[in-house]
């Protein structure tokens, strides 16, 4: 095995100036500065090539370990190590890839198969893709040991793309989300693997671009804004068939616009399907909309464990001092969802309960929201008094007041408003403590299925949920 180490000098190229205002959970830099790109690399790929079983390291500040801007190359079972903290601003490492271990941009197409990437320096992202580059990773292990060091990180747009399959990514310090985009965005596709962030202001997924995450196990372990997923501006996150856990006391997911310039627009879109989501904090709402956006969140065949009992909170968060109107468009599909929907005087909530969904919760219990609309195509079972500006009960749907007061300004009822029954679902009967194995397996909506050769999904056996 060959080992390469290079010590070189720093050249800074100042080309522009801008200001960045950091938002919570995995955003970018923190100061205004001149733009500076990496000064060089241990391995600069200039022609199509394959590298196998090699070891490359870089200790100089603001240098990359591997850099590819023009060629198609493959690294197989290579070991990459980055030390030496950035001497530049957080902007330059977050937006432009200075000091990253792996840097791909422009016409570069780099594929890593197996191997490891380890960073031990501030501002040292592991796998960085910028401005049109393409980075593919298969079975790569990534460990980041310092601040502002993200695992998979894509910026600059223009077709910049990261695809990662069955990777193992661990970040240990603050502002180091495991899967991230930043100013200019890009496209990130992740399928399979393990993703763990332990620092403050770290999300499992942080997006100012278009992201799809499937079949992963993910943890955000810090109580200080340790989120599952955050999305800013006119961008999207799709989460499918994942098992995700967060310890943050603020929220599980956030849809917002920080005003920093990192993402344009006011229409974040997030879809979570076939997933098992666990919040550990009793203070955190599952979803927070804290700034003026028109946010869209779809939950489809999910299990959400939320000890606070708050499914969504739309309000003015003092981090941004934004008092303008805020909108959450929430669609609940294919499952049972529990929790309150709350808003302050700046918040509007529109919730649609699909025909295959049950919502057990309340809306605007404190009567503080600007406007609330509930459209029921399935079942709504109230668990507290609720205040609704517009209630639409479509044909075949039922609203169970369950003994609580329902105050409504306008109602269209082509279904059933039941003020006598509880509307309790049959699934509660099987969610009972420890029992002898019954041999019976149920979907999360209470349907018994054959327990052998189950497809991927979330199931219940002997009163306990499990993920296949």
pLDDT at res. 448: 65
Element (H, E) at 90: helix 90-96
pLDDT, tens digit, 9 for 90 and up, residues 33-55: 589 999 999 999 999 999 999 99
Global pTM value: 0.86
What is the 3-class SS of 365-387, one letter each residue? CCCCCCEEEEEECCEEECCCCEE
- What lies within 8 Å, CB to CB, of 424 at 6+ separation is 381
pLDDT, tens digit, 9 for 90 and up, residues 131-165: 999 999 999 999 999 999 999 999 999 999 999 99
pLDDT at res. 13: 30
Q: Has residue 116 got a pLDDT over 90? A: yes
Closest C-alpha among 394, 388, 386, 224 to residue 319: 224
pLDDT, tens digit, 9 for 90 and up, residues 198-218: 999 999 999 999 999 999 999
Beta bridge partners of residue 272, listed in sequence order: 239, 299
pLDDT, tens digit, 9 for 90 and up, residues 284-332: 999 999 999 999 999 999 999 999 999 999 999 988 878 899 999 999 9
How far is 151 from 173, CA to CA, in rounded Å?
Answer: 12
How far is 376 from 454, CA to CA, in rounded Å?
Answer: 31
pLDDT, tens digit, 9 for 90 and up, residues 220-258: 999 999 999 999 999 999 999 999 999 999 999 999 999
Domain boundaries, the chain: 3-311, 334-424, 435-467
Percent of the chain with pLDDT over 70: 85
3-state secondary structure at position 427: helix
Q: Has residue 338 got a pLDDT over 90? A: yes
pLDDT at res. 299: 98
Q: Has residue 67 got a pLDDT over 50? A: yes
Q: How confident is the model at residue 449 (pLDDT cuts 50, 70, 90)?
A: confident
Closest C-alpha among 203, 175, 176, 178 to residue 190: 178
- Average pLDDT, stretch 181-199? 97
- Average pLDDT, stretch 116-142? 98
How far is 425 from 257, CA to CA, in rounded Å?
Answer: 38
Q: Has residue 19 got a pLDDT over 50? A: no
Q: Has residue 29 got a pLDDT over 50? A: no
pLDDT at res. 422: 86
Q: How confident is the model at residue 11 (pLDDT cuts 50, 70, 90)?
A: very low
- Average pLDDT, stretch 87-97? 94
């Amino acid at each position: 095995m060959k080992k390469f180490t290079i010590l070189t000098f720093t050249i800074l190229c100042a080309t522009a100036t801008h200001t960045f205002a950091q938002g919570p959970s995995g955003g970018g830099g923190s100061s205004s500065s001149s733009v500076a790109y990496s000064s060089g690399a241990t391995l600069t790929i200039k022609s199509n090539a394959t590298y196998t079983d090699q070891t490359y390291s870089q200790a100089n500040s603001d240098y990359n370990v591997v850099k590819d801007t023009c060629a198609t190359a493959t690294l197989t079972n290579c070991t990459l190590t980055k030390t030496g903290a950035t001497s530049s601003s957080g902007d330059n490492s977050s937006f432009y890839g200075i000091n990253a271990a792996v840097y791909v941009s422009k016409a570069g197409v780099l594929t890593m198969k197996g191997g490891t990437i380890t960073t031990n320096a501030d501002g040292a992202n592991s796998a960085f893709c910028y401005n049109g580059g393409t980075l593919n990773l298969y079975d790569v292990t990534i460990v980041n040991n310092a601040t502002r060091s993200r695992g998979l990180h894509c910026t600059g747009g223009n077709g910049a793309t990261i695809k990662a399959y069955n990777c193992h990514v661990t970040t240990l310090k603050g502002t180091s989300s495991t899967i991230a985009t930043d100013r200019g965005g890009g496209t990130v596709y992740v399928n399979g693997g393990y993703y763990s962030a332990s620092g403050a202001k770290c999300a499992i997924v942080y997006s100012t671009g278009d992201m799809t995450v499937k079949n992963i196990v993910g943890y955000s372990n810090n109580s200080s804004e340790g989120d599952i997923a955050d999305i800013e501006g006119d961008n999207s996150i799709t989460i499918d068939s994942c098992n995700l856990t967060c310890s943050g006391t603020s929220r599980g997911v956030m849809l917002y616009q920080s005003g920093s310039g990192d993402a344009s627009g006011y229409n974040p879109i997030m879809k979570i399907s076939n997933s098992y989501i666990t919040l550990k904090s009793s203070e955190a709402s599952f979803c927070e909309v804290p700034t003026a956006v028109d946010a869209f969140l779809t939950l489809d065949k999910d299990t959400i464990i939320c000890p606070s009992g708050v499914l969504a909170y739309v309000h003015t968060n003092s981090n941004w001092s934004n008092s303008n109107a805020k909108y959450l468009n929430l669609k609940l599909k294919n499952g049972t969802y529990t929790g309150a929907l709350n808003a302050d005087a700046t918040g509007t909530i529109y919730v649609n309960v699909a025909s295959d969904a049950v919502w057990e919760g309340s809306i605007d219990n404190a009567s503080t929201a600007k406007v609330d609309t509930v459209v029921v195509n399935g079942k709504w079972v109230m668990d507290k008094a609720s205040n609704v500006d517009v209630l639409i009960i479509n044909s075949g749907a039922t609203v169970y007041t369950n003994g609580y007061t329902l105050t409504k300004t306008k109602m269209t009822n082509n279904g059933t408003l039941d003020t006598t029954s509880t509307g309790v679902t049959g699934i509660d009967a099987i969610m009972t403590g420890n029992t002898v194995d019954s041999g019976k397996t149920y979907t999360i909506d209470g349907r018994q299925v054959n327990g052998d050769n189950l497809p991927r999904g979330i199931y219940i056996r002997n009163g306990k949920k499990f993920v296949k």
